[in-house]
Amino acid sequence: AQSVTQLDSQVPVFEEAPVELRCNYSSSVSVYLFWYVQYPNQGLQLLLKYLSGSTLVESINGFEAEFNKSQTSFHLRKPSVHISDTAEYFCAVSENQAGTALIFGKGTTLSVSS
Amino acid sequence: NAGVTQTPKFRILKIGQSMTLQCTQDMNHNYMYWYRQDPGMGLKLIYYSVGAGITDKGEVPNGYNVSRSTTEDFPLRLELAAPSQTSVYFCASSYPGLSYEQYFGPGTRLTVT
């Protein structure tokens, strides 16, 4: 069975500062890794995913995450955040086969202030 | 495409009442899922389906039932509502292709009092 630990429940930062949201997972099989974002009163949207290949994956809005197999981590980073990045971020893992349900972490609330 | 739609958006139930949360997707996805989201707990899988006529339990199935008579629809039934079922419910779907992405609906916020 898989599990996901998001190490910070809340991360407050100032606009234009860098941010890192930490995610560790455990699994006895190979996994796929995902970051989802949830804006207030909305559903979840996929931010980025790691399936295979390059361990550094990027989103279109400046976030990136690096898969580190030895440390079983998939931390999310952004070099300069905006007010609009304020949201809840969920790390999720699934077995590496189609249709497998996602196992979610408890979420990290990113609050960006000016 | 509308993607994944859920109705209703909000609902208040009294203890012991029943209701059905509707979920429809128009992307011809084989796989569909129901999750519940509780504050500070992330999302937990209630039930999932790999195709019409096939359903299976997730992590927290007690108190819920599902059916999947068509590819498009995956309703979630609460038979005897309890306060512990107060939550936000999300339906999701995916297709066994290269992306492995799950597409989520906007959610149903349910309060049981």
Inter-chain residue contact A99 with B45, CB threshold 8 Å: no
Chain B CB contacts of A34 under 8 Å are 101
CB A2 within 8 A of CB A31: yes
Chain B CB contacts of A94 under 8 Å are 100
Closest residue on chain A to B38 (Cα): A106
Inter-chain residue contact B48 with A101, CB threshold 8 Å: yes
Q: Which of B32, B60, B99, B100 to mutate to test the interface with A (most CBs of A within 10 A)?
A: B100
pLDDT in tens, A32-72: 999 999 998 888 999 999 988 888 998 988 999 999 999 99
Does the pLDDT value for residue A95 go beyond 60?
Answer: yes
pLDDT of residue A38: 94
B100 reaches A (C-beta below 8 A): yes
pLDDT of residue A42: 86
Distance CA B41, CA B39 (A): 5
Does the pLDDT value for residue A14 go beyond 80?
Answer: yes
Does the pLDDT value for residue A31 go beyond 90?
Answer: no
The more confidently predicted of residues A106 and B98 is A106
CB B43 within 8 A of CB B60: no
Inter-chain residue contact A45 with B104, CB threshold 8 Å: yes
**From start to end of B1-113, where are the E strands?**
4-7, 10-13, 19-25, 31-37, 43-51, 54-57, 64-66, 76-78, 87-94, 103-104, 108-112
Q: How many CB pairs under 8 A join A and B?
A: 57
Inter-chain residue contact A102 with B105, CB threshold 8 Å: no
Give how far B6 is from chain A: nearest CA, Å: 11
- Considering CB atoms only, which of B41, B50, B94 is closest to A106? B41
Cα A52 → chain centroid: 16
Give the percent of chain A with pLDDT over 70.
Answer: 97
pLDDT of residue B98: 56
Inter-chain residue contact B50 with A99, CB threshold 8 Å: yes
pLDDT of residue B100: 73
Chain A CB contacts of B105 under 8 Å are 43
Dmax (CA) of chain A: 43
Closest residue on chain B to A37 (Cα): B104
pLDDT of residue B99: 63
- Considering CB atoms only, which of A51, A99, A104 is closest to B42? A104
Q: What is the mean pLDDT of each run of 10 residues along chain B (113 residues)?
A: 92 97 95 93 92 93 96 96 96 78 92 96
Of A9-13, A47-51, A82-86, the poorest mean pLDDT is in: A47-51
